[in-house]
Amino acid sequence: MAAFSHLCGRKDIIGLVEELKQRGFRTVLGGPQARQDYNGEPGIDSHPHRFRGLKSIVDVAFQGPVDGLKSEHLGMRSVLLEYPWTNNIFLEVDWSNIYTFSDTLKRLEVRLGQVLSAIGCPYAAKPQPVTLPPPIDLREKNVPELEVRSEGCIFCDVSRDKGYHGSVDRDRLMTQIIGLPEIDGRKIPFELIDEYPIGSLSKLLEETEKHAIKLSQINLVCRVDDINAHASDLAEILSLAQRQDVKIMFASIGFESFSNRLLRYFCKGITLADIVKCVETLRRLKDRFGSHFLYRRDEGANHGFIRPTPWDDSETLREIDRNIFLHRFFEDILPEHSTPLIIHHASYLGEWIREIESKTDITFSREGTWIEWWNPSSRSGEGNASEIPPAML
């Protein structure tokens, strides 16, 4: 049996599932978008180019937390099982039982862990309509502006898949931390999974100090609005961390763009002014807390910057470059490479693409579970097939 917890939209992994199935393995698919990736896109009959789903190569698709998966499920074929998310899911991890293999089985020495604090993302619970213009290449082709509904950031497939189901209670959070492996008498660095982690961080540090649990580093993947809302608390939190010799790292902050127009299309809920305020706070804290506070690219952080997008015109590109220069984002914030906008077929942007396809004779090609927004063609045969636009600096 081979079970997959995330396809990441990768065609090579889908190819591996297919190969294993052909060789007689029973195949199981769980993780984000298991339901949608199993079922495929709607409207296949009228739009045969759309993603048809993985029913032919997956025996059991499992949507939701693994708690609901029973051994008898694994003997089933051609089935989609669903189990609801709650904030009381199974959270025990045996970190000593993780192996990799090529020729031989090899135990993985885990150097970076994860601790789950929030189930899903609170921002994903925020419905918001947005009007999107057509992709820039289709401006001349009578493609209308369309109003799309999003919950959370419009490109986020996880927000649509999981939504938000509250926080894990304090005892269960501490149990996860206690269970982490140690190196040189300290817990390994871990990512605290919570898009709004700062409000509960001082309590977490107080508890680890009280129970004499020695941490090394907490990595945060969070939103700009959380940093701005707690700008005045961060100094106190970092003093606490410094006293325990714990590093706090803003490992990934979802800036995503330096253009207000694109931030609006992304439904990001922040503006350029919010980003500037956030970066000023980070720089101030760095001056004061030095090596106990990490947020820079050269310290290992990798912040979100989405480019290219379907809406990049020369004016927007100039605006973004001007802001990067003006606010010196290239010094510390800008990642090595941007990430092209990815449209998973089950995201809200996937709905936008299907709406364009329904209202015009334009179709977009599919690559595995992705929709290639950069690859439109009209049913009359006109097309401009191309590779994914390259990431940019």
Query: Which residues in this chain contact ligand SF4 in the complex, by CB under 6 A?
Result: 121, 123-124, 152-153, 156, 158-159, 195, 223, 254
Residue type, 148: V
Contact 339, 156 (CB under 8 A): no
For ligand SF4, which is the closer residue by CB, 338 or 363?
A: 338
Cis bond upstream, residue 42 (ω within 30): no
Contact 241, 202 (CB under 8 A): no
Retrieve residue 318's tokens.
């100039």
For ligand SF4, which is the closer residue by CB, 156 or 198?
A: 156
Residue type, 326: L
13 vs 9: CA distance, rounded Å: 8
326 vs 279: CA distance, rounded Å: 13
For ligand SF4, which is the closer residue by CB, 62 or 266?
A: 266
Measured from each CB, the residue nearest to ligand SF4 is: 152
Smallest gap from Cβ 266 to ligand SF4, in A, equals 9
Smallest gap from Cβ 340 to ligand SF4, in A, equals 16
CA nearest 152: which of 268, 24, 36? 268
Retrieve residue 365's tokens.
């090609």
For ligand SF4, which is the closer residue by CB, 30 or 254?
A: 254
Residue type, 93: V
Contact 324, 105 (CB under 8 A): no
78 vs 63: CA distance, rounded Å: 14
Q: Which backbone phi and psi does 104 adopt, to 5 degrees?
A: -130, 165
Smallest gap from Cβ 152 to ligand SF4, in A, equals 3
Q: Is 331 helix (H, G, I), strand (E, B) or coil?
A: helix
For ligand SF4, which is the closer residue by CB, 152 or 376?
A: 152
Residue type, 3: A
For ligand SF4, which is the closer residue by CB, 50 or 162?
A: 162
* Non-local CB neighbours of 175 within 8 Å, separated by 6+ positions: 91
178 vs 188: CA distance, rounded Å: 11
For ligand SF4, which is the closer residue by CB, 81 or 224?
A: 224
- 2 beta partners: 27
Smallest gap from Cβ 147 to ligand SF4, in A, equals 19
- Strands 113-116, 99-101: pairing kind: unpaired
For ligand SF4, which is the closer residue by CB, 255 or 295?
A: 255
For ligand SF4, which is the closer residue by CB, 153 or 371?
A: 153
Smallest gap from Cβ 255 to ligand SF4, in A, equals 11
Smallest gap from Cβ 124 to ligand SF4, in A, equals 4
